[in-house]
A = this chain, B = another copy of it.
């Protein structure tokens, strides 16, 4: 923290809120000035460890004079209301994904966001993963020629509890939404969505009519095709790979083993330790870089962050995938 630190008010102190709090405290250009959570013990614990004053009431944050920006890490149904309050007060916002599970609420908020010109960033952290960001930059620099196919393999280590599934909006809105944003990070102009979903192993998904296994293809206006391969579980650990295939070559992001050590024996050779457990480990650097980028954005600079428009587009794609999987037909999309 320095004198010129961006003073951030954090709303929500669950798992992801704590990640953000730690990153704010560690960032030389930011400080945690306020921490809100209706579960006041959560707010107090975070404030004690990372700074700021705790409150149970988010509205205190919007009223405070020591809040330059707001970070929203509260439950999804609160996002729209909190974004609106921030924008009304002209406070830059970084809001966790998704904006909402209901596109109608997003559309209702949209004109105000557009009119206000207040920076609103969506927490699609993977854009800030050093490897994915590197691939995008190298594709943009023409290193593989025209981008023709993008393949995203994204599998969580284990399915969430059935109650979580019940409120999640389904695999496309809850899990694939990250991959939709990643697809648009490379190819913003998606025109068609085709999705297949099945339920092979997860009782929770089956109980709530959701899928645990899904493949989505997105067609870009250029003719490039994105393939997203999802599973709600992965025995080998968090599986997060990308291949950008172009006319002149390809760029691949491999999984990161938890160790540099490989083991060879009579049974097998060059075996490595399983991949990193889950997103908090795999994307630790991404969360920190996302914050740094948001600080720049809040101060009027440029940012690679997903914008409100990007968050809306990801939800449109998720809705389209859901419909496609249910109707067994491709769905045309338009973001305008």
Contacts and interface: CB of A to CB of B under 8 A. Distances in A.
Residue of A199, A247, A250, A266 with most chain B CB atoms under a 10 A cut-off: A250
Interface string A193-222: 010101111000000000001110101001
Interface string A213-257: 111010100111101010101111100000001111111111111
A148 interface: yes
A333 to B, nearest CB: 12
A249 B223 contact: no
A25 to B, nearest CB: 12
28 contacts: A130-B259, A138-B263, A144-B235, A144-B263, A146-B200, A148-B231, A194-B194, A196-B219, A198-B219, A198-B224, A198-B225, A199-B223, A215-B227, A231-B245, A235-B249, A235-B266, A236-B250, A250-B263, A252-B264, A253-B260, A253-B261, A257-B270, A263-B268, A268-B271, A268-B273, A269-B273, A270-B270, A270-B271
Contact of A265 (B235, B253, B328, B330): B235
A235 B245 CA distance: 9
A264 B247 contact: no
Contact of A330 (B198, B200, B329): B329
Given A192-B328, A200-B146, A235 B260 contact: no
B252 A265 contact: no
A27 to B, nearest CB: 14
A29 interface: no
Given A148-B201, A259-B134, A225 B213 contact: yes
A256 to B, nearest CB: 6
Contacts of A160: none
A22 interface: no
A259 B223 contact: no
A143 B219 contact: no
Interface of A: 130-131, 134-135, 138, 143-146, 148-149, 151, 153, 155, 192, 194, 196, 198-201, 213-215, 217, 219, 222-225, 227, 229, 231, 233-237, 245-257, 259-275, 328-330
B269 A194 contact: no
A200 B148 contact: yes
Contacts of A259: 130-131, 134
Contact of A131 (B155, B248, B256, B260): B260
A68 to B, nearest CB: 24
Q: A151, A198, A231: which has the most chain B beta carbons within 10 Å?
A: A198
A117 to B, nearest CB: 36
Contacts of A198: 219, 223-225
Nearest to A220: B198
Nearest to A260: B131
Contacts of A270: 252, 257, 270-272
Contacts of A269: 236-237, 255, 257, 271-275
A194 B328 contact: yes
A248 B272 contact: no
